[in-house]
Structure 1
Amino acid sequence: MPTRHLHVLRHGAADPFGELTEEGERQAELAGRRLAAVPVDVVWHSPLPRAVRTAEVVGAQLPGARVVPAAEAIDHVPHVPRPVPAAWAGFFDGYDTSEAAEGERLAAALTTRFARAADVETHEVLVTHAFQVAWLVRDALGAPPEGWLGLPSANAGLTTLEYRDDRSVTLVAYNDLGHLPPELRWTGFGPVTRP
């Protein structure tokens, strides 16, 4: 049975303007080197600059792989839980119903396009954002919509999902940072102890 191997990668570290930093460029290069051992057919990416540049750097390590935009992979909040958990109240403060509806529409489009089997065996890379990585993992685990909350994804963290034509999905790896040296792991997060 053909398997769609979807290697989901959060973009590299970016500056406040959304451009990759020097660290982000290095993270993307190392992620690309790691993925070079896989017969990647295509590198999909969000249209935002930090994801576009990450995909370009990763794609340069993958001869023959096409680098293609995927509008569904854009950064967005995929689901606003009701009621909002107290710990998340500040994050969702001011988030209106039209924004929530658009986020849910984009989340549905993301899973419809990527969270399914392909007709042929394929290896694809999807360069996207932390919330989209969390949403795809939540979907694979069959968790409720609010299950995406609290699933952090580091810059250049690699998550691999396998989709088969019998509609089963396997979470092979989540937020794997083995390709990054310690100083490039968990960039953009506060000073807490992390593995």
Structure 2
Amino acid sequence: LPEDDEIFTVRLTEAAGGALLNPNRSSVQIKISRNDAPIRFSKPTLVVPENVGVISLSVTRGRTEDGLQIGSDDKTVSVAYTVITGNGAASATPLADFVDLQSERMVVFPPGIHETDLRFSIKDDNIPEIAESFQVVLLEETLLGDAVLLSPSVALVTIEPNDKPYGVLSISPSPIQYHIINEDLTL
């Protein structure tokens, strides 16, 4: 659970069995330092045209959904991710439709850093395509450091339909030669 600093006081108020309390040393203040910075995508969905070029998926650390800081940020935190595409016609194909531009599939937040981007190149081609999607998933089991994975931990990227995705219909001239017959004439 992401938390900011918590401070409370423990105070001795009574002694039993003949013991006495030292009034100058009968309380102690305890501080639990902020912890469990939330890691998540800034947005769960991104819809882009095929000719957009490079896109960025923002991943944040230590921010509430309202953008307020919460949790620790004094040490490095990391989490791996995977890309899921699927097998259907609406699935984007790695290397053909998009390219992951990271050298490794790891998001790293150095101390004091609250936001980083994952970058993907969207490939512009001349092939008619319906909307195609891929997902980027932060992997909770790989989380290292004082952080927790919160929703949205999955980002869905959709490449809009492009290059006349539903085809072009037309009537083409026929290669057959037609004979015109006048029905009023008899042969």
Q: TM-score, normalised by structure 2?
A: 0.26
Which structure has more relative contact order (CA 8 Å, sep 6+)? It is 1
**Higher strand proportion, which one?**
2
Q: TM-score, normalised by structure 1?
A: 0.25
Higher gyration radius (CA) = 2
